[in-house]
Amino acid sequence: MIEMENVYKKYPNGVVAANGITTRIKQGEFVYVVGPSGAGKSTFIKMMYREEAPSKGTIMINGMNLSKLRDAKVPLLRRQIGVVFQDFKLLPTLTVFENVAFALEVIEEYPENIKKRVMETLDLVGLKHKARMLPSELSGGEQQRVTIARSIVNNPKVVIADEPTGNLDPDTSWDIMKIFEEINQRGTTVVMATHNREIVNTIKHRVIAIESGVIARDEQRGDYGYES
Ligand code: ADP
């Protein structure tokens, strides 16, 4: 369902951040993407939701060829992919409910469906009781839960997360991981770049290690690796 074939990415400054990546991620898999800073993890992930386009090679997501995808079709892709960032990027003047509903309204859902779906999703991340609050009234962990709710409210087949626990304390990080586990157990593919060794070594999943723009290691139930 996610296929990369000989993907190569050279930034305008000449940096080669992907240097011949070929991999395949099946529907329902949970994949950690690990590797040193600057190795190309974010680039790998950004190419999956077409934040960056590859310079060469083929990327297929749910049968869509991203190399050939016209700009007008990008919203169609984004509807099938939820994205979670390290810095939360919630809209500060909107309530928790509105921040999550926003993701549905932009695809023209009916109002009654919006309410039902948003509250179900907030329930899943444990924040139904805070639906009327503003992001500034929430802790960092709670804000991250809202962004996760926002990313899954459309029922995407894939959730892509770049360092989702990067700014969170260890306890909160575990809570956030439980939500990703739950999402994955419902059949959603999860691709997560992380530096969190403890999480990768405890909640075992496939590990793709990227070094200098290539896949250096790809193991089912892998370890984080890289001695600290
Ligand atoms: P990681 O996520 O593993 O830290 P990145 O994918 O962010 O790695 O970066 C890989 C390499 O590409 C680094 O050398 C980085 O400086 C470079 N890079 C990333 N984004 C850009 C960009 N927009 N323009 C130029 N170089 C970039």
- How confident is the model over 178-209, as pLDDT tens digits? 999 999 999 999 999 999 999 999 999 999 99
Residue 143 structure tokens: 């804000």
pTM: 0.93
| 7, 8, 11, 16, best to mutate for ligand 1 pocket (most atoms within 8 Å of CB) | 11
Ligand 1: list residues with CB < 6 Å.
Answer: 11, 13, 15, 17, 35, 37-43
In ligand 1, the atom with minimum distance to the C-alpha of 162 is 2
- CB under 8 Å to 44, separation ≥6 — which residues? 18, 21, 33, 193, 210
Confidence of residue 85 (pLDDT cuts 50, 70, 90): confident
| 34, 41, 43, 210, best to mutate for ligand 1 pocket (most atoms within 8 Å of CB) | 43
User: What pLDDT score was predicted for residue 89?
Assistant: 80
In ligand 1, the atom with minimum distance to the C-alpha of 46 is 6
User: What pLDDT score was predicted for residue 75?
Assistant: 81
Which helix or strand (DSSP H or E) is residue 2 part of?
strand 2-10
Mean pLDDT, residues 153-166 taken together: 92
What tens digit of pLDDT does each residue of 11-41 get? 999 999 999 999 999 999 999 999 999 999 9
Confidence of residue 106 (pLDDT cuts 50, 70, 90): low
Phi first, then psi: what are they for 19, rounded to 5°?
A: -125, 60
What tens digit of pLDDT does each residue of 43-73 get? 999 999 999 999 999 999 988 898 888 888 8
Mean pLDDT, residues 101-123 taken together: 83
Alpha-carbon distance of 2 to 106, in angstroms, equals 25
User: What pLDDT score was predicted for residue 78?
Assistant: 82
Nearest residue by C-alpha to atom 24 in ligand 1: 11
Confidence of residue 226 (pLDDT cuts 50, 70, 90): confident
Cβ pair 21, 57 in contact under 8 A: yes
Q: What is the mean pLDDT of the chain?
A: 92
What does the DSSP assignment read for 183-225?
HHHTT-EEEEE---HHHHHHS--EEEEEETTEEEEEETT----
Residue 98 structure tokens: 């509105």
CB count in 10 Å sphere of residue 109: 18
- CB under 8 Å to 86, separation ≥6 — which residues? 162, 163, 164, 166, 167
Q: 2, 31, 39: which is closest to 184 by C-alpha?
A: 31
CB count in 10 Å sphere of residue 93: 10
Provide the percentage of residues in the chain whose pLDDT is more than 90: 76
Nearest residue by C-alpha to atom 25 in ligand 1: 11
